[in-house]
Amino acid sequence: MKKRNIAAGILSAAVLIMSAAGAFAASDEAVQAGADNGYIAPISLDLVEHRQLHYRQFRGTVKEITDYKAIEGAKFISVESSSGEPANIIADETTYVFGNEKIAAGSEITAYYDANAFMIMIYPPQYKAEVIVVENDSRNVKVDLFDEELVSADGSLKLMNISEVKDIVNEDGTAYEGDLKNKVLAAVYTISTKSIPAQTTPQKIVVLDKAADSDRQSEEKTDEAAVSVSGRDVFVYGEKIKAPAAFVSNSGVQMIPLRAAAEAMGYEVTWNGAERSVLLGSDIKFKVGEDSFAINGTEVKLAEASLIIDGRTFVPMGFFDTVK
């Protein structure tokens, strides 16, 4: 998978604001101009109801951007909605920044994240962005999985007159000539009907092969690290293990359940309740609440202190890169 330079696209900090996408309303006739019969096909309400979301989104204004310590090259974007609600967005090399536009303090952006991903209950909330769009008043962008009838997964938009769309490309800008059905698309448009779902003839479509990207990302992670995370699952040497859910701390560090991961790596884990310390094998030792550990008597710093939640010890993911 082609790596993306997130730092190059982000100048300063980012805060996202939740709101509905602002479409420019238009008459049905205006959107259908150029269609063979000038008639807008009615959409059954069944298409809008009982739909499983593919993405959720958070829209807001950029406030601050810092490095995300848990993933090399990733950014931790702090945002705030128009109603004053804060959120933190994680953007890494797999995040597609629409049009490779620059994100700076004051930019209004929308982050799209997996609607079915595990979310830890922290405040402000944190979202791993799959797509980020820098908003402007000249166009609308809808990012979603579009079905057989080219209706978005959330049931809000139907794409029409695809044969008239001249600009259909892949993420890298090369021409796309395949089927658009059941694909994740970024549709650019200016006007839409007032129907439910709204209907539009897009000006441009970018095909986002996020499912394939996700698979390749998992493969890359298992090659690079002893321990990796996908959603709520923890993987050791590429194999999913039974473990408490990993989470991201308030400072943006990925925290891993120690015992489950260490034992899967072959370590014997010993807990000393009096010292509140943990011993892995005979050479690796640390105390809960400290941001360092000792390996063969040499102190190693961690990105964040270990901690106990519901009787389970969690450590930064970088810990396992050192002890593998």
Give the C-alpha separation, 269 to 272, whole Å: 10
Pairing of strands 277-280, 269-272: antiparallel
What pLDDT does residue 10 have? 52
Domains 6-208 and 225-323 alike in fold = no
Better-predicted residue by pLDDT, 35 or 305: 305
Segments of 92-197 assigned E as strands: 96-97, 108-114, 126-134, 140-146, 157-159, 167-170, 183-189, 191-192
- Please determine, for residue 117, whether its predicted confidence score (pLDDT) is greater than 60: yes
Residue 211 confidence (pLDDT): 44
Domain range annotation of the chain: 6-208, 225-323
Cα–Cα distances in angstroms (integers) from residue 54 to residues 40, 182, 313, in the given order: 26, 11, 33
What's the pLDDT at 237?
A: 85
99 DSSP assignment: G
Does residue 135 or residue 40 have the better pLDDT? 135
Q: Give the containing element (helix H, strand E) for 272.
A: strand 269-272
Class (C level, CATH) for 6-208 = mainly beta
Task: Report which of 41, 83, 76, 44 is spatially closest to residue 61, judged by C-alpha positions.
Answer: 83
Average pLDDT over residues 287-309: 89
Q: Quick one: which of 278, 282, 281 has its CA closest to 305?
A: 278
The per-residue pLDDT for 174 is 92
| pLDDT at residue number 302 | 86
- Domain formed by 225-323, architecture: 2-Layer Sandwich (3.30)
Above pLDDT 70, what percent of the chain? 76
Task: Give tens-digit pLDDT for 201-240.
Answer: 999 999 997 544 444 444 444 344 678 887 668 999 888 9
What does pTM read for this prediction? 0.55
Local structure of 74: helix, strand or coil: coil
Q: How confident is the model at residue 51 (pLDDT cuts 50, 70, 90)?
A: low
Average pLDDT score over residue span 286-308 = 89
CB atoms within 10 A of CB 7: 13
C-beta of residue 77 within 8 angstroms of C-beta of residue 14: yes
> d(Cα 172, Cα 153) in Å, to the nearest integer?
24
- List, for residues 132-146, the tens digit of each pLDDT value: 999 998 999 999 999
CA 315 to chain centre: 22
Which tens digit of pLDDT belongs to each residue from 74-95?
A: 889 999 999 999 999 999 988 9
- Which of 38-47, 262-271, 292-301 has the weakest average pLDDT? 38-47
| Pick from 85, 118, 71: nearest CA to 252 | 71
23-55 in b/e burial notation, b at 16+ Cβ within 10 A? Answer: beebeeeebbeebeeeebeebeeeeeeeeeebb
- pLDDT for 162 equals 93
Confidence of residue 45 (pLDDT cuts 50, 70, 90): very low
Per-residue pLDDT tens digits for 96-108? 999 888 998 899 9
Euclidean distance between CA atoms 229 and 90, whole angstroms? 14
Which pLDDT belongs to residue 200?
94
Q: Is 97 exposed, middle or buried (0-12, 13-18, 19+ CB in 10 A)?
A: buried
pLDDT interval class at 119 (50, 70, 90): low
Which one-letter amino acid corresponds to residue 40? I
Does the pLDDT of residue 324 top 90, yes or no?
A: no
How much is the mean pLDDT over the chain? 80
176-197 per-position pLDDT tens digit = 988 999 999 999 999 999 999 9
Q: SS in 3 state form for 222-244?
A: HHHCCEEEECCEEEECCEEECCC
Q: What is the pLDDT of residue 323?
A: 83
Closest CA to 92 of 108, 61, 109, 71: 71
